[in-house]
Amino acid sequence: MDNKSEVQGFDISPELTFPLFFLLLFVYFTLLFSNIGVLLLIISQKSLHQPMYFLFCNLSVNDLIGNTVLLPQLMAHILATERFITYKQCVVQAFQSHTFGSASHMILIIMAIDRYVAICHPLRYSSIMTTRTVVGLSAAAWGVSVVLVSILIGLTVRLSRCRSTIQNSYCDNASLFKLSCEDVSINNIYGLFFTVLLFTSSIASIAATYFRIALICWIKKNKDLNNKALQTCASHLVLYLIMLWSGFLTIILHRFPNYPDLRKFAYVLFHVVPANLNPIIYGMQTRSLRHKITEILKRKVTPS
């Protein structure tokens, strides 16, 4: 069997090909500029070498990896008359894509814990959320994601293939094991376990931390505390909900083959929207980061 597989891609009319290509190109360069900019700013400014900003770096690195795996190839396939990908490339893309999704959940769990400690235990924040603690939590988040996804993809690559068409605009685990004619019960069982574990742990953790934050704000009835909670938690919650529901849509729509374009759109949304909003929302809502950005912009426009 040929080692290359055909990728279905988006079913778009010829007149929309270039507008869609340039839209995705603009989106990709925007997220590259914003995320790399945040990374360079945090690395270069010693005043930003704090646990919270280290978590921002985790998000930016994850967004850059996840979207660099997806968007360049998606743009190439939009322009191409024939859309082919080797099986090895497809496996790598699926692995990195699922790692992106898993790591996103894990990092947002850590950020929720960080916000809980900052709001509910401000006097103990520096002793609890030390750099060593945050580095350890971040390493655990990446490590757990890699292990879970390695098992997920490992169960798929063991299967023989009898088909050569990727029923998607990208490669993911479900698209890969649909190439096989073997029994995929184990893949479905582990995939369900993986999904339930990931979503349950993130929903439960974030719901618990936000409930505690809301309870503390209600008990203390402190206006400054309420404003701080609203400012720091609103952006985190909005991004999490976007990621959660687009992830849900992607998983659910794999069970409904009559809506392929909606599934593909949900998957791109899952990658692109948080990656573009993360540096903007967190940058604008974090006083130190916002101050540094403003300071640098003033230096650029002020003649020496």
Q: What is the pLDDT of residue 294?
A: 60
> What pLDDT, in 10s, does the model give residues 241-259?
877 887 777 777 766 667 6
Tokens of 195: 């999904």
Contact 196, 122 (CB under 8 A): no
C-alpha angle with apex 166: 161 to 168, nearest 5 degrees? 150
1 confidence band (pLDDT: 50, 70, 90): very low
> What pLDDT, in 10s, does the model give residues 50-103?
887 888 889 889 889 888 888 888 888 888 777 788 888 889 989 998 998 899
C-alpha angle with apex 55: 296 to 44, nearest 5 degrees? 30
Domains and CATH numbers, the chain: 4-301 (1.20.1070.10)
